[in-house]
Each structure stands twice: as C-alpha cells, then as structure tokens.
Structure 1
Amino acid sequence: MSSWKQRCESDWGIHGAPMPEDLDWKSVHEAAPLGRNLIKNPSPLGLNKDVPPPEPELPEVPGGGPARFQPEGDFSNWTTAVEVLPYDASGIPAGAVICGLPQFSWFSLEQIVDLKAQGLWEKLLDEFQPEIHVQDWYEESQLHQNIYQLQVKLLSSDKTVISEHTIKPTEDLENYSHTWKEVSHVFSGYGPGVRFVHFIHRLKNSFLNDFFPTQFTGSSVVVKPVKTS
C-alpha cells in the first residue's frame, strides 16, 4: 500500500473501506473530501450562526419605491430564483378597509455537489456508503408561519433520484425568540450509484413599503468517514 493511500486510510479512519490501487491517493488526500463542507460559499449573506441574527431595521419613514424580492449578498456558486406569491387577503374581516398588504416571495438557492469531482471514489460511495450529513441554519422570525423549506436529493450519474429528504418547518408565531434554527438530516444506507448531492432551500421574504427577508447561514453537505448501516 502506498504511503499516501495509508495516510488517507489513517487520517480519515476508513479502515475496511475499498481503496483501489489505481487512484492518485496524493491528489485524493489533498482534496480532503471526507469531513469537510462540500458546499461552496455556504454563507452568502455574510452571517455567522455563532452570532445572533441582526434585528430588522425599521425605517422612520417608509422607503417606498419599487417592490424588492431578493436580499443582497454574494450568491456566487449558487443558482437563485424568485417566486412572487399572490396577495393573501384571507383572515381579513369583510368590509375592513385595507391600506396595504404585504407581498411575499420565495427566494430559492440551489447547488449541485459533484462527489467524484470533490475527490470521493466510486467504490467508497457504492460499497462503503459513508454517511452524508446535511445542515442549514435559518432565522427564526414572525414574518409568516412558513418561511423556510429544504429539499436535498442524492442523484446518480444520470441525475436519477436515489434518495431525497424534504423539510418544511412551521413557525411558532406566539413566541418570538429571534435565533438561528438548525435544520439537519443524515443520509445512510442509500444504496449504490450516488454521484451528486442536489441541495436546494427556499426562504420567504416580505415587502410592505420596505423589504423584510428571512436570513440563513452555514449551509453544509459533509461526507463523514462512517460506514452506514
């Protein structure tokens, strides 16, 4: 066994995992595909989960101007989209005078992680099947009852879905804590053929004279050197 192959096995604790002889183990070791976050640009809003999310600034004078539906940030490495939702007048008593309604929108960000391009090898994914840990953090707020959605898919080489997990939490509008809320999932026992991880989350924003976003940070996809059951 080459010294680089031994270093990979020792550093990652993957004894018993298939270690093909035909791989460039030096390059694999330098890529460090196990145990690190494979999401690029995980915090495009420049926020940190270890610091409380900033309180929204309420202007003394309404901003006016055209409606805005996307937060400011560096969204490189992400594919983004905006879905503006129709006005919701439900719950308003008949005959009530409506001066203005908030207009909500979903802001989605997605990224596809190519596991082989990150340094993982086929036999490891197909036979050893290490755990794939997904994590995200979003801002608790009273903006709406549903402000966050996460969908993660494990895909084959031809992008066929092998396994997927969707999270759609509901917010407690009676208790305002304004903290980061963790969302996570572990894929295990997913079977052979996984080559990509498709990560997509959607955050709800509101516009009523000013823009009120739902913020997020710390998106991650980590392949851990743990054999799945």
Structure 2
Amino acid sequence: MARNLLKNPSGEEQLEFWELTENGGSQWKVEDMPGDCGYDFCHDGVTKYFATSFELCLKRQVIDLLEEGFSFEQLDAQPPVTVEDWYSGRKDCGCTYRMTVCLLDENHEVIQEFKPDPVTLDPDCDNCFWKQVSHTFSNYGPGMRYISFEHGGQDTKFWDGWFGVRVTGSSVIVEV
C-alpha cells in the first residue's frame, strides 16, 4: 500500500523533520484549525497547519528513497510519484503560495521539477478557502534516489505576525 513519505505533513509535531530554507518575518508557526480569520479544512483528521509571516517562509524535506526501503530496481522502473499540498489564505489579508518539488539523482541533481507559478490569494476578490495542488511525475528516466519537497509563501500586506499563506496535508507518494 502506498504511504506518505513526508514526515509531519500537517504540523502535529510542530516543525520537526522540516528544514527551514527561508524563515523570514515572524517566522514559521503551527496553529490549530481553523485559526484566526481562517477556514475549516475539508477532510477529517487534519487539525493543524503551518502559518507563514510577512517575509518569505519556505520549508523543505528531502526524502532518501533508498533509506525509505525502495530498491534501485523499483526506482529505475520510473514509478509514478504523486505530490499533493493544501494551502489557504485568511479572510483579512492576502498571501502568496509557492511550491517546488524535484526528483533528484544520487548526486542531488534535478531529474525533473514541478514548480507551478506562485499563487496570490486576495480575500477582497478571491475565494481563500483551502485549495489543493497535485502533480504526478512519470516518464522521468532512471536514477531517481531522492525527492525534494519545498513549499511556503508570505502575506501581501507585510503585517507583523502570521498573516501569510497556510499549508497542511502535504504528501509525497511513490506508487510501486
């Protein structure tokens, strides 16, 4: 059965297992759903999210696929890799969301990258409810050994505190 390879995808363990690659403003924070001026999440079981600040906040996990129990043969067969993430804004402040996921070889060189354009949410004209982004990698060639998953963002009004994008429910699944 496929399993989520990301550890602590929704902040149950605060920021454990995440490398903070950008930690600006008031820095990252874990909050309880739905949070101040927030929206309820659409799936049961997710009770926390990561909140960003007024300067860019990005966090990353690099998954070692061999350490996770995959064999060279399984990985070189180019199994589908599905990544998902959920993000939302607040009812009172705009925000931007960013995501970059890379399939990496043994030297951490990029084999294939998924990097959608940043999304800006404005509560004055957008629905800032929880939104899902999803992508499946396929036909990327042999040699994948690591997956780098990075996401985050910031608010658009530069308010002191945690008024930026909220992220939760992230997943990386390798279908072997």
TM-score by length of 1: 0.57
Tell me the number of residue pairs that the alignment of Structure 1 and Structure 2 aligns. Answer: 145
SS of equivalent residue, structure 2 residue 74:
helix
The yes-or-no answer on 1:213 pairing with 2:164 is yes
In structure 2, distance between residues paired with 1:209 and 1:152: 29
Q: Which runs of 4+ in 1 moved over 2 A?
A: 140-144, 168-178, 205-211
Matches within 5 A, 1:178-189: 178-189=128-139
- Give the number of the structure whose residues are more often helix, by fraction: 1
Aligned 8 A contact 2:89 2:164 in 1: no
Unaligned runs of 5+ in 1: 1-33, 47-72, 85-102
2:6 is matched with 39
Aligned 8 A contact 1:140 1:171 in 2: no
In structure 2, distance between residues paired with 1:155 and 1:211: 32
Identity rate, percent? 35
Matches within 5 A, 1:62-81: 74-80=14-20, 81=22
1:167 is matched with 116
> What RMSD over aligned residues (CA atoms) do the two structures have, in Å?
2.2
Post-superposition offset of 1:184: 1.1
Q: Give 1 or 2 for the bigger CA radius of gyration.
A: 1
Q: Residues 131 and 104 (structure 1 numbering): CA distance in 2 closer, same or farther, change over 3 Å? A: same
- Give the number of the structure whose residues are more often strand, by fraction: 2
Unaligned runs of 5+ in 2: 26-52
1:102-131 deviations in whole A, cap 9, x for unaligned? Answer: x931111100001111111111111x2110
Larger RCO (CA within 8 A; separation ≥ 6): 2
SS of equivalent residue, structure 1 residue 159:
coil
2:145 is matched with 195
Post-superposition offset of 1:179: 1.4
TM-score by length of 2: 0.73
Q: Residues 210 and 157 (structure 1 numbering): CA distance in 2 closer, same or farther, change over 3 Å? A: closer
1:117-148 deviations in whole A, cap 9, x for unaligned? Answer: 1111111111x21100000001134633x510
